[in-house]
Structure 1
């Protein structure tokens, strides 16, 4: 058996696509509830791509932002994956290049032969050669990617509220205006709104080209959830400062009838936030609101008079990170406190001198470490979405200097939990 890992050519694009789950119809998510899906099903149904779709995908495949690698076994493509070029917002607001791992699969008849490891090695080498010191992905299965250095860094909630339980703590007069718009206008609004959001939100990822281009096509989704409706909020000056996408799916089951599903929601300020939720939570002829892809520190619970009205129904890890260059990664972000620590990462010691203005990180061979961890733990800690003390208590971080883990937590923790609403 001869194995070769390399980028594909244009002539090989269709063969490459046919190993990927979203094309061949094989499962691409584990059969567990996902916090990114507002519907009642475990995951949306899988369908094989038509020949016309295959041609369309192949035409747009080889671009400067999509970098596919394939595993050839005796000349035939048996597996593949790709890196997409995106940006990630770090604590401090810096937006840095990140290699986003996507479209990953090995054909069932070629599994357990080490192909995925070879593919991942080639892709991460490609990231390093391009100067990307971070790689990220959204894991279809939680047990696969830790072996390649990835670990969960952001999380999402799915929650629901019964309309009869909704009331706000304090009266609210909206100085702006809500408006229902068509998909074409929403497709213009969302890119601008998201750019404003990701400038200030730790963990947010830049959208892939064409992310919102389909909002205006009016197509009905295959899962029967009904058409999308687009709600925007304008401030007193008429500028859009918030938007939501929601559906009102029909259900023959009275238990699930009258459900409003929120698929996307962004607000730049408290006025837009309260105004948008005020309408969505009190939409006529509905009885329940379900929201997906929500941040773990959603403030809505504390706006309601009955805080128990908001019920969490799913929690899911979202963005997994792999730190490809420890020094560059630790120097790229800012910190919530001032302090110095020696971190031993996979047996290599690094002296970190951090502050709210930035950091210096230098190799420190022979220095006594304050804390020892692997690159997996560092990936989870990097954006502040997981506390170092959690890993210490789980036996995954070793503390050599008393209080060092507490100091590390104080350095890394951002004001808000990291969150990303855009996938890749």
Structure 2
């Protein structure tokens, strides 16, 4: 049986590694034309691969650098893991475990406190210390039942952008949306070309529209029109499928929704992975025009440096709690942490709560409650009074949301 070894991807090896990833995801082979467009968005930096004894890649673990907003508004350096795959004829040989270990050790050595990914399967990444830190909801808004309340969303103007205008202006506009919502991801320059090639300038019929308010452009939406007509319902209107909707202000958000719900010959507007607390029903005269079609795990988070991550965010009002954290992959994180509204530090005090690093990652951005994960058997309670204090310290008013796929 052939052996494998894991090492950093060298310049010139990226295409073979990307082809391996695309094959694992059951995508079409990469043409020379497609690779010419994608090459600049897939550099060798941040990539590790498993190679067989002939030098052929049989596994890939890729990441790029970004920032996530953490509770309190600070932007924290994050490794965005954008591709993990093992070739189908090399699975069950320890390749995934070896690559994940190498990747995490590299991220830690570079002093990056967080790693994040979107999981293709829900059973893989918990054992590497990742926990579900944000969720998204799918929504379906029926037209013409959906009418906005009087005056809402009428404070600005919405207009379409050409693909060329979108390529030039949307990235700068997005930078206005970093805000204070926990989990929100920055988009480095290398992220945008792939998005524009696949979506905006692609062949799937996406449209881009921007909202302008008193201070200029302050929101945008990217959507696709889906023909819903068939022999049984030839008069049925189209479905508007939202790919992205971001706004710098509540007025811009309402204006974009008003625009979508005013387009003629439309039967419904749908969006997937929207923020859990997005108040769509509340803005309508008939809240039953909105259906939540699904709730899905969105961003999986990994605390690579537990102390640095805990120190970077702010906390609610409560007495401090002592958390004892266990990390199988990165044992430097093992230990006790005193967490309070005035700060965080390591401690030798008796622990109040004991949990694995993946569970702490699930709670870090403010989603969920310690008390719920106590019920689920994922937090061991050593001091009953500490559970309510931990809930008050960690939970955030706004639901965390990433808003970016990678």
TM-score, length of structure 1 as denominator length: 0.86
Instruction: Give the C-alpha shift of residue 423 in structure 1.
Output: 1.9
Match of 1:274 in 2: 254
Instruction: Give the 5 Å matches for 1:173-322.
Output: 174-213=154-193, 215=196, 219-221=201-203, 226-237=204-215, 239-253=216-230, 254=233, 257-322=237-302
Deviation at 1:218, TM superposition (A): 6.1
- State the 1:245 CA deviation: 1.2
Aligned 1:15-414 pairs, distance under 5 A: 15-21=16-22, 24=23, 26-27=24-25, 46-54=27-35, 56-58=37-39, 61-62=42-43, 66-75=45-54, 76-172=56-152, 174-213=154-193, 215=196, 219-221=201-203, 226-237=204-215, 239-253=216-230, 254=233, 257-346=237-326, 348-355=334-341, 359-364=343-348, 367-414=349-396
Give the match's secondary structure for 1:273.
Answer: helix
In structure 2, what is the Cα distance between the partners aligned to 1:176 and 1:245? 18
Change (3 A) 1:62 1:177: closer
Runs (4 or more) in structure 1 with deviation over 6 Å come to none
| Cα deviation digits, residues 121-143 of structure 1 (max 9, x gap) | 00001101110111111100000
CA 1:108–1:240: 2 relative to 1, 3 Å: same
Inter-partner Cα distance in structure 2 for 1:326 and 1:220: 41
Judging changes above 3 Å, is the alpha-carbon distance between structure 1 residues 176 and 262 closer, same or farther for their aligned structure 2 residues? same
Unaligned runs of 5+ in 1: 29-45
Q: For the structure 1 residues 47 and 162, does the alpha-carbon distance in structure 2 shift closer, same or farther, using more than 3 Å as the test?
A: same
After TM superposition, give the deviation of residue 92 of structure 1 in Å. Answer: 1.0
Number of aligned residues: 393
Q: Is the 8 A contact 2:200 2:208 kept in 1?
A: no
| Equivalent position of 2:8 in the other structure | 7
* 1:177–1:236 contact (8 Å) kept in structure 2: no
The 1-side partners of 2:168 and 2:174 are apart by 11
Find the aligned partners of 1:293 and 1:252 in 2 and give their Cα distance.
25
- In structure 2, the CA distance between the partners of 1:17 and 1:345, relative to structure 1 (3 Å rule), is same
Query: Aligned in 2, Cα 1:174/1:11: closer, same or farther, shift over 3 Å?
Result: closer
Residues 41, 191 of structure 2: 8 Å contact kept = no
2:80–2:115: 8 Å Cα contact kept in structure 1?
yes
Does the 8 Å CA contact 1:260/1:288 hold for their aligned counterparts? Answer: yes
**Residue 220 of structure 1, CA deviation:** 4.2
Alignment correspondent of 1:43:
none
Coordinate RMSD, CA, aligned = 2.2
Mapped contact 1:349–1:369 kept (Cα < 8 A): no
160-169 or 342-351, which deviates more:
342-351
Counterpart-to-counterpart distance in 1, 2:271 and 2:38: 30
Paired residues of 1:264 and 1:292 also in contact (CA < 8 A): no
Could you list the per-position Cα deviations for residues 376-406 of structure 1 after superposition, in whole angstroms to 9, with x for gaps in the alignment?
1001000011221121111111111123111
| Equivalent position SS for 1:122 | helix
Tell me the secondary structure at the aligned position of residue 208 of structure 2: strand
* Contact 2:367/2:395, CA 8 A, preserved across alignment: yes
SS in 1 for 2:266: coil
The DSSP-based 3-state class of the residue aligned with 1:381 is: helix
3-state DSSP class of the match of 1:19?
helix
- Structure 1 residues 211 and 257, CA, compared in 2 at 3 Å: closer, same or farther? farther
| Distance (Å, rounded) in 2 between the aligned partners of 1:307 and 1:313 | 14
- Return 5+ residue gaps in structure 2 as ranges: 328-333
Q: In structure 2, do the counterparts of structure 1 residues 176 and 138 end up closer, same or farther at CA, with 3 Å as the change threshold?
A: same
CA separation of 1:298 and 1:339: change in aligned 2, threshold 3 A: same
